[in-house]
């Protein structure tokens, strides 16, 4: 994948950071995107990467904002060349039972988890199709597949992620562009640490492999889907959940 350019939204998050590192190790020029309010965290990622001899650049934009995404993607393209790989990894939770959920909790999750895919993909898809090569990987969740108490917003957004994947995959299949979903299970990350401990213990007991996933488990699947060897895989959803859920 030498010479390819990748943009990873949510690049400063636990999974996003590992995706950046894995792609960079595979020879890709990686730009990690992060929300404008989180640029400082993103610089930490950059320093960590440099410490292990990896060069990652950082761009700040609000993935939930169409125009901001367009502005940032135009800047990245000008500086590094057209984007070959887009990993839509920006995601948040605002858990509450529906009876208590506010409009703001619903809208924030939809904006970052679902609208963001349109906002970024819309600005890269034309150039990918024109050049006849592209990879879009959308990060969903096991909770988009099976639902989760307290996550009507999150589960709806993550189920929507794969609907988007399947539709776009069909639109660009003849153009050398593949579009796939990776659906992580419970991954050892700040998002999971925020779940009340008794619930986390229950979840762990239901993961057949007996551990939470690591961010690198997701990064490895994403990197494979980006590779030339994965050119016949499109519109797929790859579960990476330690056996926690084996349905569709
Ligand atoms: N199934 C059935 N009942 C449940 C339940 C479940 N899974 N979880 C809680 N309840 C029950 C409680 O026992 C309690 O019952 P009683 O009222 O009879 O005592 C009731 O629901 C609690 O309801 P409340 O209105 O009081 O809820 P709350 O405001 O206290 O908290 C919550 C609800 C915030 C959703 C909390 O349960 C929670 O944080 N759950 C974890 C949600 C979760 O797993 N999120 C995943 C985050 S990680 C992620 O999303 C990454 C990924 O992709 C995997």
C-beta separation of 56 from 40 below 8 A? no
Assess whether the C-beta atom of 196 lies below 6 angstroms from ligand 1. yes
> What confidence score (pLDDT) does residue 87 get?
98
> What confidence score (pLDDT) does residue 49 get?
73
Which residues are within 8 A (CB) of 113 and not within 5 positions of it... i.e. 6 or more apart? Answer: 90, 91, 92, 154, 157, 158, 160, 161
Query: Which ligand 1 atom minimizes the distance to the CA of 150?
Result: 35
**Structure tokens, 186:** 């419970």
- Residue extents of the structural domains in the chain: 5-239
Does residue 104 register a pLDDT over 90?
yes
> What confidence score (pLDDT) does residue 48 get?
74
> What confidence score (pLDDT) does residue 54 get?
72
Residue 181 CB burial class (10 angstroms; 0-12, 13-18, ≥19): buried
> What confidence score (pLDDT) does residue 51 get?
77
Which of the listed residues 95, 158, 193, 213 should we mutate to test ligand 1's pocket, taking the one with most ligand atoms within 8 A of CB?
95
Residues across the chain: 248
Tens digits of residue pLDDT in 127-179: 999 999 999 999 999 999 999 999 999 999 999 999 999 999 999 999 999 99
Does residue 243 register a pLDDT over 90?
yes
C-beta separation of 218 from 18 below 8 A? yes
| pTM of the model as a whole | 0.95
The architecture of the domain spanning 5-239 is 3-Layer(aba) Sandwich (3.40)
Query: Which ligand 1 atom minimizes the distance to the CA of 192?
Result: 48
Between the CA of 139 and the centroid of ligand 1 the distance, in Å, is 23
> What confidence score (pLDDT) does residue 246 get?
95
Assess whether the C-beta atom of 39 lies below 6 angstroms from ligand 1. no
Between the CA of 154 and the centroid of ligand 1 the distance, in Å, is 13
> What confidence score (pLDDT) does residue 121 get?
98
Does residue 247 register a pLDDT over 90?
no
Tens digits of residue pLDDT in 177-212: 999 999 999 999 999 999 999 999 999 999 999 999
């Amino acid at each position: 994948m030498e010479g390819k350019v990748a943009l990873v939204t949510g690049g400063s998050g636990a999974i996003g950071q590992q995706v950046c590192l894995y792609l960079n190790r595979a020879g890709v020029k990686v730009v990690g995107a992060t929300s404008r309010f989180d640029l400082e965290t993103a610089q930490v990622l950059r320093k960590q990467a440099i410490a292990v001899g990896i060069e990652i650049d950082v761009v700040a934009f609000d993935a939930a904002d169409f125009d901001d995404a367009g502005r940032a993607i135009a800047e990245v393209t000008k500086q590094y060349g057209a984007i070959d790989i887009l990993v839509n990894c920006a995601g948040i939770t605002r858990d509450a039972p529906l009876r208590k959920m506010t409009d703001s909790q619903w809208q924030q999750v939809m904006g970052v988890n679902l609208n963001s895919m349109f906002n970024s993909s819309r600005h890269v898809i034309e150039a990918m199709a024109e050049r006849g090569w592209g990879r879009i990987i959308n990060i969903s969740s096991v909770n988009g597949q099976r639902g989760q108490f307290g996550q009507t917003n999150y589960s709806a957004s993550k189920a929507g992620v794969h609907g988007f994947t399947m539709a776009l995959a069909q639109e660009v299949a003849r153009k050398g562009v593949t579009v796939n979903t990776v659906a992580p299970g419970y991954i050892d990350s700040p998002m999971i640490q925020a779940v009340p401990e008794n619930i986390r213990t229950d979840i762990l007991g239901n993961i057949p492999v007996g551990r939470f996933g690591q961010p690198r488990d997701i990064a490895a699947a994403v990197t494979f889907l980006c590779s030339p060897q994965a050119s016949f895989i499109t519109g797929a959803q790859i579960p990476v959940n330690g056996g926690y859920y084996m349905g569709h």
